[in-house]
A and B are shown apart, each in its own frame.
Chain A
Amino acid sequence: MKIKYMLMRNFLFSFMCFGLVFSSAGLFAAEVQQDDPDPVIETPLEDLDEKEFDPGEKAIGHIVDANAFHIGGNLFFHLPVMLFVPNEGWTLLRSTRQFKPETYGDGTIAINRFVLNHGTVYRVIDNSFPDGRVDIDGFTKRDAENRCGEIVPTIFVKYGGQEYQVEWKSTIDGCFFGGSITSYYDFSITKNVFSMLLVFGFLTWMFLVVAKAYRKRDGKAPKGFQNFMETIIVFIQDDVAKPFLGKKYDRFLPFLLCIFFFILALNLFGLIPFFPGSANVTGNLTVTMVLALFTFFTVNFVGNKHYWEHIFWMPGIPAPIKLILTPVEFIGLFIKPFTLMLRLSASITAGHIVMVAFVSLIFIFGDSGANLQGSIMGAVMAFPLTLFMMGIELIIALVQAFVFTILTASYLGAATEEAHH
């Protein structure tokens, strides 16, 4: 038994090291290629100095969702595109390759006013821009006023000697998070959706295999991989479900396990520093929002009389205080899933940013690859820092999945608790 555990520890450790080496190598390769002079797309005239390495931009480029999956350098994994414009209908493309990207995933044609910039699809705002497929002359970026009335760096499409402003990536936040409500909706299989589908497939396969082992070895002691998964399942059962849900734990345990393994797998998948991992899925507020909404609806759907009574008319408390308490409790209904959503996405996004920032040290010290000694210095510094962060991130991946699950369990427990006074 001891030997088995040691082997597993060794395996995990070597896996981490392996990942780190690749993460540094991958980014390094990507960066070196980026520094090559670009023959196709003209560098914008009054733009920010493109030659200078910008770790902030790099980090954001890494964490945001995109329509094409960046593998490294000019290499992209192209994904299907499904765009919807109200009153105008759908624009369906087999893949982002139809934008004919040449460098950096920048498309060279526009399709129905849609363009591809850095692997992400945007829509030209101006109505005078022609529909259908037209060749464009590249992109430029400069400050401009967006729909929310803010002056921000904005992408412009060069076409026919004119520059056309593009909209944000599709969003519905109404300027609340700096976006707006876009005139189009992007229902594409994006990088995040692709990652989720992969994780979904992997988990489905894995758990069906484990479930089969349970069926086959019914009444026998667990063995091998089944045993490994069982330790985690039993951990969730005994330390999360039972303390909060008591005797009814088996009713919600499948839901808790689904949430836990889905988040954990996506967290860990995001830590794999190369394709098809590395996507910042659980760090995306939209994804965590949906997960939090699942918790929200489950909790309020199963909530019993006792639970609603405690929210709207807390028993055993004077009426004037009830008047104060009821709004607080009611807001609490929504704050609970809201914090679930924020906690998970913030911690995972932060982890991804820090990781990219540490690897970026290599390029900051190396003057974007111009200074070899500096690069080596940066690498020497970045390696232990990234290694350390990778370790922390592994813990965070586990802890955040665990916290999301245990809080869900506690909300469910509160909602299904029987009156005891």
Chain B
Amino acid sequence: MIFLAEFTVFRPDPGLVIWTSIIFFTFLLIIGKFAFKPIVTALKRREHDIQNALDAAKIARAEMENLKEENEELLAKAREERTLIIKEAKEARDYMISEAKKKAKEEAAVIVQNARNDIENQKIAAIKELKNEVAGMAVDIAGKVIKRELSSDQSQKEYVNKLIDDIKLN
């Protein structure tokens, strides 16, 4: 019975209808327009931004991958080139060294030959001079001997010895 009497919760109340309508409608207008609309727009925009950023990252990663491959190719090429260059350099070095050695040998031979020739020439010149000197001395001595023939043989002999002693081979 009490439910029938006082259970006004489940009875439509005209005042409450009007007030609820007014309050909820105002709520819808104010909050819907000034809060939820900007919030929803901001969320949507952010979602969009995030998607864009993800896409951009994907593209960048793919590009990176490409670059890496290119780099590796370049590196391999460079390595090959380096090996080639080193090889060439080695060959050039060996060639140069052998060339230099050959040349040096030749030159050394020429120098030795020249030196020999010089020595030979000098020797010949020295012998010639010696011959001339000896001849001069012999003539000198002979002259002096002839001059002293007049005295004794003894003195002659002594004189000759003395002359010979005087000759200083210097």
Docked complex Cα distance between A234 and B4 (Å): 44
Docked complex Cα distance between A153 and B5 (Å): 6
Q: Which residue in chain B gives the minimum CB-CB distance to A226?
A: B39
Query: Which of B26-34, B68-76, B83-91, B136-144 is the contact stretch?
Result: B26-34
B165 CB-CB contact with A under 8 Å: no
Out of B10, B14, B17, B34, name the residue touching A208 (CB < 8 Å): B34
Q: Which residue in chain B gives the minimum CB-CB distance to A193?
A: B19
Q: Say yes or no: A286 contacts B1, CB within 8 Å.
A: no
Query: Which of B41-49, B57-65, B95-103, B154-162 is the contact stretch?
Result: B41-49
Q: Say yes or no: B27 contacts A203, CB within 8 Å.
A: yes
Known contacts: A64-B7, A203-B27. The answer to whether A218 contacts B12 by CB under 8 A is no
Q: Say yes or no: B35 contacts A171, CB within 8 Å.
A: no
Q: Say yes or no: A65 contacts B9, CB within 8 Å.
A: yes
Known contacts: A152-B1, A286-B16. The answer to whether A171 contacts B21 by CB under 8 A is no
The interface residues of chain B lying within 8 Å CB-to-CB of A153 are: 1-2, 5-6
Q: Which residue in chain B gives the minimum CB-CB distance to A250?
A: B40
Out of B5, B7, B28, B43, name the residue touching A234 (CB < 8 Å): B43
Tell me, rounded to whole Å, the shortest Cβ–Cβ distance linking A261 to chain B. Answer: 8
Known contacts: A170-B14, A197-B23, A230-B43. The answer to whether A64 contacts B8 by CB under 8 A is yes
Tell me, rounded to whole Å, the shortest Cβ–Cβ distance linking B35 to chain A. Answer: 4
The interface residues of chain A lying within 8 Å CB-to-CB of B43 are: 230, 233-234, 237
Docked complex Cα distance between A40 and B105 (Å): 146
Q: Say yes or no: A169 contacts B13, CB within 8 Å.
A: yes
Q: Say yes or no: A188 contacts B9, CB within 8 Å.
A: no
Chain A 217-235, CB-CB to B under 8 Å as 1, else 0, gives: 0110000000000100110
Docked complex Cα distance between A289 and B21 (Å): 10
What DSSP secondary structure best describes chain A's contact surface? helix
The interface residues of chain B lying within 8 Å CB-to-CB of A203 are: 27, 31
Q: Say yes or no: A56 contacts B2, CB within 8 Å.
A: yes
What DSSP secondary structure best describes chain B's contact surface? helix
Tell me, rounded to whole Å, the shortest Cβ–Cβ distance linking B46 to chain A. Answer: 7
Chain B residues touching A, range: 35 or more
Query: Which of A94-102, A251-259, A331-339, A403-411 is the contact stretch?
Result: A251-259
Q: Which residue in chain A gives the minimum CB-CB distance to B46?
A: A219
Q: Say yes or no: A179 contacts B11, CB within 8 Å.
A: yes
The interface residues of chain B lying within 8 Å CB-to-CB of A207 are: 31, 35-36, 39
Known contacts: A200-B27, A280-B9. The answer to whether A60 contacts B16 by CB under 8 A is no
Q: Say yes or no: B36 contacts A254, CB within 8 Å.
A: yes
A57 CB-CB contact with B under 8 Å: yes
Known contacts: A178-B3, A197-B23. The answer to whether A258 contacts B32 by CB under 8 A is yes
Tell me, rounded to whole Å, the shortest Cβ–Cβ distance linking B83 to chain A. Answer: 53
Q: Which residues of B contact A (CB under 8 A)?
A: 1-21, 23-28, 30-44, 46, 49
Taking A150-B4, A170-B15, A208-B35 as given, write out 11 further A-B residue pairs in contact, using a Cβ cutoff of 8 Å, ordered by the A residue number. Answer: A60-B2, A60-B3, A64-B8, A168-B11, A208-B34, A211-B36, A219-B49, A254-B37, A257-B31, A262-B24, A284-B9
Question: What are 13 A-B pairs with beta-carbon distances under 8 A?
Answer: A152-B5, A153-B1, A177-B10, A200-B27, A208-B34, A211-B39, A214-B42, A233-B40, A257-B40, A258-B24, A262-B24, A285-B9, A290-B24
